[in-house]
Structure 1
Amino acid sequence: ATPGRLLDLIKRKAVKLESVRYVVLDEADEMLNMGFKEDIDKILSFANDNRVIWLFSATMPSEVRKIVKKYMHSPLEVTVNTVEISNKDISHKYVVTTRANKIPALRRFLDIQPEMRGVMFCRTKWETQEIADNLGNMGYSVEALHGDLSQGQRDSVMKRFKSRSMQLLIATDVAARGIDVNDLSHVIHHSLPDQLESYTHRSGRTGRAGKKGISLAFINPREGRRITELEKKIKVTFEKVEVPSIEELKSSRINNWANLIINTKVDKQAQGILNDLHGQFSHLNKEDLLERLITTQLDHLMIRDGEKGDLNEGSGSKTSKTYRNDGFNRYYVNIGAIDGVTEADLVHFLSDISGIARKSIGDISLQKNCAFFNVNSQVDQDLGKKFEGIEIEGRNIRVNLDDGGDKKTSSRSSKKKSYNKGRRKPPSHFGRSGNSRRDSRRSRSNRR
């Protein structure tokens, strides 16, 4: 069962855990990332003290260690392939572009490397399905794999992927656990994972059995420090690569097309079909015919109207860090994962204090002691001022435009405002995302 479903059954007294002898916590790190720590605590409190706990986790962050220490007695730890030795057959690369240009950039890599076969990882189920739908509607051979699919749908997707009938599988981390497919040329990271250990887990799906593979990460201009962290942690060197230009795409497509024609074995029926055309091409010389064929190939390139020729962004340029040309501004807040916050909690908090609709807040990068997020530039006027004097558990909350530093906003008011005075009651611990939303609805109805 999922934690939430099992708790529901326990509350309705449909399930009793007093006689349970074994409790298995699978994908423990992902359950914690999704905010299920309190649910796990409650479930384990219903089980008898003599139960045996088996815990499985691809990574072992401190939060998982805390569960081990709290609930397991003299545990035996079995580790498999945990030594973080980089696979020499994997080339680690990254691209710097804006969030809005990630998919156009991906399309160019798919176009210029038609032989590519890989997995792209996304943060959420919604993002996974949206990207797959958009690319599929444009004619790309891609499909989504995430938790909202039925088991039958997942099996069908994996069958098609293993039979090489699709170029790219777009998946969440949880759904992709256990995927074992050979001969993947690429692993693509639409966003870097919050846990750096997960990067190794993702990228390890390519470069197997002595074959070469590429791990390609799409990052925004402010995430260069995360690449540096990865280099230090897993002891590899990342190569910065450029998004192919439109001219490179044209050249690549025409060359691939020309090679295909040169290496195509002529079918026996071709001469008969040519005779049936009754000289429809007789008024064209060889150059005229080739020019028309080349034009039809160029027409197949998926270049949208208004799409920039150069999708690359510079990293480290202060002029491009704060104000973005895709309609969003980047902000910093001094709340991070160490506070037990999830991305959903943070969006609710920011929306409640600022009055900005949650749909206008996105691209959250949750880090240990802070977080970065985008806000629609049409609604973020004086955003930092709205947080002046706001306190959570005695700590002043700061929200600044991200200029690459950690500068403080000047507080023009000496009055301190607690988050739970005159506003939505916050959870006593940020990690309680489910409870905080229910409290939010109750408090809003009370104000009405």
Structure 2
Amino acid sequence: MSTFKELGLKPEIVKALTDLGYENPTEIQEKAVPQVIASDQDLKAFAQTGTGKTAAFSLPILQKIDLNNNQVQAIILSPTRELAIQIARNIEEFSTHLKGFGVAAVYGGADISQQMRKLRKGVQIVVGTPGRTVDLIKRKSLRLDSVKWLVLDEADEMLNMGFKDELDQVLEVTPDSKQTLLFSATFPREVDRIARNYMNDPTQIDAGKRNSGSDNVTHEYYVVSDRNRYHALKRIADINPEIYGIIFCRTRRETQEVADKLIQDGYSADSLHGELSQAQRDIVMQKFRKKTLQILVATDVAARGLDVDNLTHVINYKLPDQIESYTHRSGRTGRANSTGISIAIVSPGERRKLSPIERKIGKSFVQKQVPEGKDILKIQLLKLIDKVKDIEVNESQINDFIPEIQEKLADLDRDELIKRFVSIEFNSFLSYYKNASDLNDISSSRRDRRDRDDSRGRRDNENMTRFFINIGRKDKLNPARLIGLINEQNITKNIEIGQIEILDTFSFFELDKNFTNETLAAFTRDSDVEFEGRGVNVEVTEKKRAGSRGGRRDGRKRRSDGGKNHRGANGDRRSKPSGPGSFNKGGFGRDRSDKGRRSKKD
């Protein structure tokens, strides 16, 4: 294994790395740093989450940056503000001994005037989210005509979040001669599309197996009925009293609900999602990094860029829409040579989603039984005893009270004293798990049928409007591209997207019902919305009644343009009934009983 000095880095950078405790480069750093230092060729680099991608692209840029020129020489784009802040913080640490160097992080949710003032002072590197970067360009506060390096970090996620227009606008004001560096933990088809559109004959570097999970992470799953999902989560937390982990949910609403329940039930938990202000997010992350919080409940988007080591668990309260997102989630644990556990809580109908994940990550899930009450009580009791044994006794403070204490306890023998002492702390657990049911008992057909009925009820969410769209799998549509198409219409910021159902020639999606008219107007604006060269038609549908079978799938209201490109419902293939056959078997699809949301961030 080489050293950072052997990679060709200047002494000031090596000293900063040594001060930070970095001894040897990781595989991606060992491959990427010399490549970028020695060549101006565009680069695609793939490595697992937690392997040091930020240093892999920032160290060679710091090596080659002109410290005598305070114009922006490198622009680094990231999908979320948390990731942008983290990258800028890392670069500040790496450049501690470089005199005259400056870096600025620009992102939404913060005072833009402060960011503008910092840019006016002059910095060589800007790390930004696409939306805020474009905003500053339009205000003429950010000039990129001297840029030598453009870094796209998690570029696939930026496309998924609907930032294609912003990427195009940034590229328009950067020189053709720049070097473009693309770094990603996963390799979906979107990355190839980015390379074709934004890069010039890129070379490619792989560190480890693409899309695979870390060798230090084990993957487990628990099968429970959907109504017992939260109860199973609590038991998993209780059987692991030293847990320090992230629980991933699919929507902001679900994230907040789970966090609120955990807090009410006495767990050391908090939430992280898009509705929090930047100040609130900073407070939550500070507490989590200091381990004041044991459990962070987060959405995928909000958790991007979290740089927290020594996580013991990642728990998928709901599986994500895309396999790549699972890879990102599980990669949060098992970092820096430590081990970790990635857990998926699934309903019986969701078990089929695990197979494509296993094929992608090259690892198998191990089914675990939800702990029974007696097992949890034993673990928690022993934890309490260990806590008592390890407690530091302040002899000088307590000695004066010992005689009175002994007098009051004189009538109790040793065994009775232990029982009473333990019960003070333990009665709440004993009460909660008294006669606790077996959450693994989901085999009866009656219970399975009830769970399916619950799923249908969730599909009829009164807060969402269901839309028909006349494009589907044959048009190369997938959930991520549909989310991107919705975001491109600029209906509103952070619109909540519910269930998505991709079929062969048409699809359905749900949006916040408060923006029904805006959605219809957006897709009829100038009648020029297209996807893969095909005109897009969006209509409101009536949600399918629970228990219905066959017949027309949805009764659709024509959109306000008179139903252009509309086909009749009688005999139309769009009336195809739901069922296992309509699920996307070609990849990791969305379970229609769940809701997901991906929102555009700036």
- Name the TM tier (shorter chain): 0.5 to 0.7
Taking the TM superposition and a 5 Å limit, the aligned residue runs for 1:166-181 are 166-181=293-308
| Cα distance change on mapping 1:19 and 1:214 into 2, 3 Å | closer
CA deviations over 1:28-75 (Å, ceiling 9, x no partner): 122222222344345545666555544333323112311221232212
2:452 aligned residue: 322
1:338 aligned residue: 478
8 Å CA contact retained: 1:322, 1:329: no
8 Å CA contact retained: 2:241, 2:383: no
8 Å CA contact retained: 1:389, 1:396: no
**Please, which of 111, 114, 128 is the counterpart of residue 241 of structure 2?**
114
Taking the TM superposition and a 5 Å limit, the aligned residue runs for 1:220-231 are 220-231=347-358
**Please, which of 324, 329, 333 is the counterpart of residue 202 of structure 1?**
329
Q: State how far apart, in whole Å, the 1-side matches of 2:598 and 2:231 are.
A: 36
2:342 aligned residue: 215
Q: CA deviation at 1:239?
A: 1.0
2:365 aligned residue: 238
| Cα distance change on mapping 1:246 and 1:61 into 2, 3 Å | same
CA deviations over 1:268-295 (Å, ceiling 9, x no partner): 3556434334744456566655554454
8 Å CA contact retained: 1:206, 1:212: yes
Matched, 1:387 2:554: yes
- SS of the aligned residue for 2:378 comes to helix
Q: CA deviation at 1:88?
A: 4.0
Q: CA deviation at 1:199?
A: 2.5
Q: State how far apart, in whole Å, the 1-side matches of 2:260 and 2:344 are.
A: 21
Q: What amino acid does structure 2 have at the position aligned with 1:215?
A: S
Q: State how far apart, in whole Å, the 1-side matches of 2:146 and 2:372 are.
A: 64
Q: State how far apart, in whole Å, the 2-side matches of 1:224 and 1:278 are.
A: 58
8 Å CA contact retained: 1:119, 1:186: yes
| Cα distance change on mapping 1:397 and 1:209 into 2, 3 Å | same
2:18 aligned residue: none
Matched, 1:406 2:546: no
Q: State how far apart, in whole Å, the 2-side matches of 1:256 and 1:114 are.
A: 8
Percentage of identical aligned residues: 36
The number of aligned residues is 395
Q: Which runs of 5+ in 1 are unaligned?
A: 349-357, 374-378, 408-430, 435-448
2:37 aligned residue: none
- SS of the aligned residue for 2:439 comes to coil
Q: CA deviation at 1:103?
A: 3.2
**Greater mean alpha carbon deviation, residues 258-267 or residues 168-177:** 258-267
Q: State how far apart, in whole Å, the 2-side matches of 1:250 and 1:168 are.
A: 20
1:300 aligned residue: 428
2:403 aligned residue: 275
Q: CA deviation at 1:93?
A: 0.1
Q: CA deviation at 1:222?
A: 1.9
**Greater mean alpha carbon deviation, residues 211-220 or residues 17-26:** 17-26
**Greater mean alpha carbon deviation, residues 383-392 or residues 202-211:** 383-392
Instruction: Please give the root-mean-square deviation of Cα atoms over the aligned residues, in Å.
Output: 4.9
Q: State how far apart, in whole Å, the 1-side matches of 2:435 and 2:401 are.
A: 40
Q: What's the TM-score once normalised by structure 1's chain length?
A: 0.67
Q: What's the TM-score once normalised by structure 2's chain length?
A: 0.53
Q: CA deviation at 1:129?
A: 4.4
| Cα distance change on mapping 1:46 and 1:113 into 2, 3 Å | same
**Please, which of 434, 437, 442 is the counterpart of residue 309 of structure 1?**
437
Q: CA deviation at 1:201?
A: 3.2
8 Å CA contact retained: 2:273, 2:298: yes
8 Å CA contact retained: 2:160, 2:484: no
Matched, 1:397 2:397: no
CA deviations over 1:392-427 (Å, ceiling 9, x no partner): 8767435756x54439xxxxxxxxxxxxxxxxxxxx
8 Å CA contact retained: 1:23, 1:52: yes
- SS of the aligned residue for 1:300 comes to helix
